[in-house]
């Protein structure tokens, strides 16, 4: 009996709803359920803005002008290069790119508050494309820095700089990859890859997160790295590396790197089978520089470096990081496999001749 009564009731309700939806004139006095507009608070909650991040970081991104003497007339200077720089200390230190100021006879820094100053070149590091400048100015805006931030694929980032001398500009994207070393000329650089546009003049500018904290130093587009025309692929030097290089430049005027004089390849299962060993970590030595510390220590081609001072060598990148952090003259011990047998080799670290 109940089912018999419910059926016509449900049919009637469905018919009424359809009529109300199809014929608006039938519902002039009904509550405004069908035409309700979202309130202003709802719209504001959905609206996404990164203005707070730009407000925090933007003032600390300066315009860098590289000037050179006119050929044949050392009384005249003309602007040859354009870039950006990031104020990272209230003492006046600014990080920019090596390629922005490498050939400069004079470097001019223009702040976003309108102040302009000549800059002193503290030092350069070609391998990481980092240069450190210093300006003698007070009340400098310093970019927010968070040493605990770790860049992750998918993080939203903003690139701030002075593209084409148009004035400070901010572009938006995500981190699309980390640890990119294949685009570096010597394979020693681990770039952050982003699809935020980095154009001419952005070099040396800031890559920041949505809190305005420094993520990296904008350095290159894919076009600069490979001479291919493409879009959506740009690179930045990680903040931690840039800060480390700056500290070394301030301390020594340059970057002093340890060196042992080898080229190697990461171990893998295929290489292990070919060499007849079970070990799949470490690196295979492919070349030993005849006059380098490794040759003096007796290291040979096809040796497998397993660890240095009991610190495991996972791949060529980890080996490079371990060695370059050592001061020349440091005594270390290599654990290697030669013909499948373990062997220890004492070695004295040299200084990288490429620096």
Query: Which among 66, 84, 184, 203 is annotated as catalytic?
Result: 203
SS3 readout for the chain: CHHHHHHHHHHHHHHHHHHHHHCHHHCCCCCCCCCCCCCHHHHHHHCCCCHHHHHHHHHHEEEEEEEEEECCEEEEEEEEEEEEEEECCCCCEEEECHHHHCCCCEEEEECCCCCEEECEEEEEECCCCEEEEECCCCCCCCCCCCCCCCCCCCCEEEEEECHHHCCCEEEEEEEEEEEECCCCCCCCCCEEEECCCCCCCCCCCEEECCCCCEEEEEEEEHHHHHCCCCCCCEEEEEHHHHHHHHHHHHHHCCCCCEECCEEEEECCHHHHHHHCCCCCCCEEEEEECCCCHHHHHCCCCCCEEEEECCEECCCHHHHHHHHHCCCCCCEEEEEEEECCEEEEEEEECEECCCC
203: annotated active-site residue: yes
Query: Which among 125, 129, 155, 352 is annotated as catalytic?
Result: 129
Calculate ∠ Cα 141-142-147, nearest 5°: 165
129: annotated active-site residue: yes
Query: Which among 66, 84, 99, 316 is annotated as catalytic?
Result: 99
Beta pairing partners, 82? 65
**What positions carry a catalytic annotation?**
99, 129, 203
């Amino acid at each position: 009996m109940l089912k018999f009564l419910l059926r016509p009731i449900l049919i009637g309700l469905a018919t009424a709803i359809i009529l109300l939806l199809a014929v608006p004139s039938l519902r002039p006095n009904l509550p405004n359920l069908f035409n309700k507009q979202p309130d202003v608070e709802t719209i504001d909650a959905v609206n996404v803005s990164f203005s707070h991040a730009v407000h925090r970081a933007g003032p600390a991104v300066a315009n860098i002008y590289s000037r050179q003497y006119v050929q044949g007339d050392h009384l005249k200077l003309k602007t040859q290069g354009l870039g950006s720089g990031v104020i990272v200390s209230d003492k006046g230190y600014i990080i920019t790119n090596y390629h922005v100021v490498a050939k400069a006879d004079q470097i001019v820094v223009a702040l976003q508050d309108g102040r302009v100053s000549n800059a002193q070149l503290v030092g350069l590091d070609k391998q990481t494309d980092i240069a450190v400048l210093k300006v003698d100015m007070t009340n400098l805006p310093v970019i927010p820095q968070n040493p605990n931030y770790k860049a992750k694929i998918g993080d939203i980032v903003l690139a701030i700089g002075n593209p084409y001398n148009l004035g400070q500009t901010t572009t938006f994207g995500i981190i699309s990859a980390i640890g990119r070393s294949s685009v570096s000329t010597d394979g020693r650089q681990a770039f952050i890859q982003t699809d935020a546009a980095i154009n001419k003049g952005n070099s040396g500018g800031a890559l920041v997160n949505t809190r305005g904290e420094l993520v990296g130093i904008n350095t290159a587009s894919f076009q600069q790295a490979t001479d291919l025309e493409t879009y959506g692929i740009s690179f930045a030097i990680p903040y931690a590396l840039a800060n480390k290089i700056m500290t070394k430049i301030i301390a020594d005027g340059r970057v002093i790197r340890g060196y042992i004089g080898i080229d190697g390849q990461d171990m893998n299962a295929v290489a292990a089978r070919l060499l007849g060993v079970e070990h799949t970590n470490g690196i295979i030595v492919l070349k030993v520089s005849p006059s380098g510390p490794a040759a003096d220590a007796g290291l040979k081609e096809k040796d497998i470096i397993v660890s240095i001072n009991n610190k495991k060598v996972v791949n060529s990148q980890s080996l490079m990081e371990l060695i370059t952090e050592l001061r020349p003259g440091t005594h270390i011990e290599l654990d290697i496999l030669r013909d499948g047998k373990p062997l220890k080799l004492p070695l004295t670290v040299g200084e990288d001749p490429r620096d």
